[in-house]
Amino acid sequence: PAVMGLPMPSLFLPLLLLVSTTPLVQGALLYEVDEEVLVGYVIGDLRQSNLLCVCFFPPAPHVSPLPLHTPSLCIVNELSGELSVALRLDREALCMEEPDACRSTGFMHTVQVAAMAKGQGSSNLRLLDVQLLVRDINDHAPAFRAPHLNVSISESEAVGRRVPLPRAIDPDAGTNSIQHYRISAASGDGLQLGPFSLVESDDDDDGGGVGVDGDGGMGHRALLELREQLDREAVPSYELLLWGEDGGNPKLSGSVLLTIVVVDANDNAPVFVDPPTRPVRITEHSKVGTSVVQLRAADPDAGPNGAIAYSFHTKLTSLATQAALHVDGTTGLVTVRNAEKLDRETMPVHRLVVVARDGGQLSRSASVTVTVELNDDNDNAPVFEVIALQGEYLPDGGVKIVENLPSGTPVVLISVSDPDLGSSGTVDVRLEFPTGAELASPNKVQFLLKTTRLLDYEEAQQYNVSVLAADRGTPKLSKLLNLIISVVDINDNTPVFMNPASIEGDVAVYEVSLRENGPAGTVVLNLLATDADSGPNGAITFTLSELAGGESVAELFSLNMRTGQLTLATPLDREKRMRYELSVEACDGGSPQRKARAIVRVTVLDENDNAPTFVGVSNSTNCMYQFFVEEETSVGTYVGTVSTSDLDEGDNARVALNLVREAGPDWIGGAGDTPGGVVRTLVVLDREDRVQYELSVRAVDSGRPALSASCRVSITVSDTNDNAPVITSPNTNDTWKHVRTFSPAGMLVGVSVTANDIDAGDNGRPLYEIIGGNPKGIFLLNADSGALSLARTVSSLDEGLHRLVVRVRDRGGSGSRRVRAVSGLLEAAAPVLLHVFVNETVENVTLIEQLVAESLMRPLSEDVVNLGRRTGPDLPTWAIVALVAAVGVILLAVTIGLIAFFCRRRRRQSGGRGGKK
């Protein structure tokens, strides 16, 4: 038949693994075949396909072979067009080689066939895809990876817990693969499944084996479900058969032996087996390792959960018991750890709590209490306890008692004990070697040791007494008490000071002299004292009492309490204190104590250790006297007194003063000694020549070597008013100044009087004053500066030349001196003249100078004012005042009259208006 107008092919060529597709491909043919068919099996006839055109095959076609890829699962007959099996078809093997070609229905194999008419050329070539589906057959039974599988499940798992089981493997596909799981008993009637059931699931859970399912289903698996609580101690494991079945026809199945191991959970606590119900008895001080009791505990759990370790309960078992006994952690055997700790007398009963603990993660434990009682062993000798009834019992076994005790005096009480039991604790006591003592027993355990004669220290100072105590145990243990009884001397002698200078009553007196400034440690006196007693009663110690006056003796003197050597603790200062009286006591060590007293009188001899000092100085820091003397006094005037002091005595305190000569011709002091320290003048002093004198006084004592000191003397010359002021400006009387008319009050005129006075203070301060020529009070002269100013505003009435007479004097009181002239033109007492010309302008200087010259010709007693004024005579001041007063009175009268007129007129007007009403 023709397909798509092409002739049927006369030649078919199988082409495998052709990568590219050309336009020659006309379509695809699908054939199905079961796997495992015989090689050569005809799958189909390609000529029967409607995809090939009949016209493709003309009569007598020419077939040209094409290159092919091999191998292929099928072959094509070039002449007949039959497609047949070329190789064994195993779907499972093919899927393993080409997983991408594996389908749920089988294995898809594709080949290309070329058809070409003979003699037509390559243009008649046609390609055809042929798909061959190799169908699966149920040729494999389910199988497991191992013939025997183990599954572990904890006995603590909850009911309902599901455990994934390993998958079975079936390489078939579709229904031929694993379809169902079941379990059965490994033996018996098949109904004994124990506490388990099987649940099938399509979920892809973890665990189990993984097979290759032909249909791609990978999730079908079996789950083992727990229906009842497991108990490993009852049933430790189960054996089941796990079956896997496919869905083929006939069905195939496979099984595996499944051993379910129940994993132990620590659900059981240890339990002691046959614990001791009665106390266990052992002998005290048993050897190390001696067995005391064997403890056993059982735990039905397995592995670490059932492994038991033994130990003491540390809180309920005393430390002493833990130190004495030991429990083996593995076997539970209790043995002796330390024999010395098993002492019945110390701890007769030991109660130990032993804990058995398993090794589970959350361990469980049990405990048992064991009482261990110790049997007595004669391991203790008798014990003495001595109490001194007289004197003192010493730890080394000695007893001290005083001499002269009468015979029969109880000395000590001896108590004897033995901590052992029975005959081992029964003690017999007797006195060994009795010497001066006897033993009396008021009861079986106490004994009195008494003296048998008077004890005299001078006869014997010591007695040895032995007491033997022995128990009745086997073997016997005994103990010997050696008592050394020492006779103690009585303190019946008082110390006596040796070689005193004198004795006052019962007090020994010593006299000692030593120089001051001796170094610390200088021996003052070696005191000796004796005591006829012995021991502490004859041991003398020296003590030093406090000094009179509150001084601490420890700061000045040191007394060796053993040797009696008295030394200086610090150098003594005679100037601070000349004599000391010390009280020394010599005390023995007896009780009651006896003592003797001595007085040591110490006289401190002087050393020249103090330089002279100046007394009454003005400046103590720099040692300076400040004296004052007036100038112009006569020679020999008293200036001041220099006083000295020296803390030493005798020649060391005799001081000579020397005034050191000062360089210069105007020296003030005298040569050599200054008797009594008085300073006087040798010349007449002039303050204006020199104000200050600085001297030095040297004080030297008579000691050897001599000590000295120096002090400055400052002498200030006081001023006396012996100099008058000297006028320095103006230096002539013909000077003048111009003042404009109507100049205001306070204006400086422009002229000043200045003077110098070489005296000091008020004696040298000039005082300026106007003594004439200012009758109108126009001018004011500053008394301190000498500056001339206007006292009021000048008017036209003040025009003209004014002459002012100015006097200068100092302020030295009644003794002040007046001015003395600078030049020979003025007398010594003559004042200075100031001229002031008052006018609006200065039109003619020559005229003014003529007026000044005329003023100088007039006497000083005449007031020269308004000289040269061109207007008429001036009105007197009183006239001006009277005129102003008259004008004021007139104005006041007129004002009062006007006020009275207006007031009267207003009253009249007010009266007329009242009558009309």
The correct answer on CATH 2.60.40.60 for the domain covering 148-263 is: yes
Q: What is the dihedral of CA 331, 335, 341, 346, to 10 degrees?
A: 100
Asked if residue 765 lies in contact with residue 811, where contact means CB atoms within 8 angstroms, the answer is yes
Q: And the tokens for 544?
A: 């030093």
pLDDT of 673 higher than 90: no
CATH superfamily of 271-375: Cadherins (2.60.40.60)
Lowest mean pLDDT among 73-82, 134-143, 146-155, 330-339: 73-82
**Could you tell me what percent of the chain has a pLDDT over 90?**
27
Q: What is the pLDDT of residue 499?
A: 94
Q: And the tokens for 606?
A: 């002087």
Per-residue CA distances from 789 to 753, 772, 777, 835 (Å): 12, 16, 11, 13
Region 10-16: what's the mean pLDDT?
40
pLDDT of 574 higher than 70: yes
Q: What is the pLDDT of residue 267?
A: 82
Burial class (CB in 10 A: 0-12, 13-18, 19+), 431: middle
Alpha-carbon distance of 835 to 783, in angstroms, equals 18
Backbone angles phi, psi at 303, to 5 degrees: 60, -145
Region 680-700: what's the mean pLDDT?
89
**Could you tell me what percent of the chain has a pLDDT over 70?**
84
Lowest mean pLDDT among 216-220, 721-725, 825-829: 825-829
Which residues are within 8 A (CB) of 909 and not within 5 positions of it... i.e. 6 or more apart?
none
Q: Quick check: helix, strand or coil at residue 626?
A: strand
Interval 416-474: pLDDT, tens:
888 888 888 888 888 887 677 777 877 778 888 888 888 877 678 888 888 888 888 88
CATH superfamily of 383-488: Cadherins (2.60.40.60)
pLDDT of 50 higher than 80: no
Q: What is the pLDDT of residue 417?
A: 85
Which CATH number applies to 726-857? 2.60.40.60
Identify which of 263, 262, 223, 259 has the alpha carbon closest to the alpha carbon of residue 240: 259
Upper half-sphere CA count for residue 893 (Cβ side, 13 Å): 6
Alpha-carbon distance of 866 to 875, in angstroms, equals 12
pLDDT of 829 higher than 60: no
Q: What is the pLDDT of residue 826?
A: 33
Region 539-562: what's the mean pLDDT?
82
Question: In this structure, are strands 832-838 and 736-739 parallel, antiparallel, or unpaired?
Answer: parallel
Q: Which amino acid is at 43?
A: I
Domain ranges across the chain: 12-135, 148-263, 271-375, 383-488, 496-605, 613-718, 726-857
Structure confidence at residue 376 as a pLDDT band (50, 70, 90): confident
Asked if residue 73 lies in contact with residue 90, where contact means CB atoms within 8 angstroms, the answer is no
DSSP 501: S
Q: What is the pLDDT of residue 272?
A: 93
Interval 265-293: pLDDT, tens:
888 889 999 999 999 999 888 999 999 99
Q: And the tokens for 497?
A: 């000071």
Q: Tell me, yes or no, if the pTM score tops 0.75.
A: no
**Any idea which residue has 């009275």 for tokens?**
900
Q: Which fold has domain 613-718?
A: Immunoglobulin-like (2.60.40)
Q: What is the mean pLDDT of the chain?
A: 82
Structure confidence at residue 879 as a pLDDT band (50, 70, 90): low
DSSP 848: H
Q: What is the pLDDT of residue 661?
A: 63
Interval 150-202: pLDDT, tens:
988 988 888 889 989 988 988 888 888 888 999 888 876 544 778 988 898 87
Element containing residue 894 per DSSP (H, E): helix 877-916
pLDDT of 23 higher than 60: no
Structure confidence at residue 667 as a pLDDT band (50, 70, 90): very low
Q: What is the pLDDT of residue 595?
A: 93
Q: What is the pLDDT of residue 503?
A: 93
Q: Which CATH number fits domain 496-605: 3.40.190.10, 2.60.40.60, 3.90.650.10, 3.30.360.10?
A: 2.60.40.60
Q: What is the pLDDT of residue 65?
A: 33
Equal CATH topology for 271-375 and 496-605 = yes
What is the CATH architecture assignment of 12-135?
Sandwich (2.60)
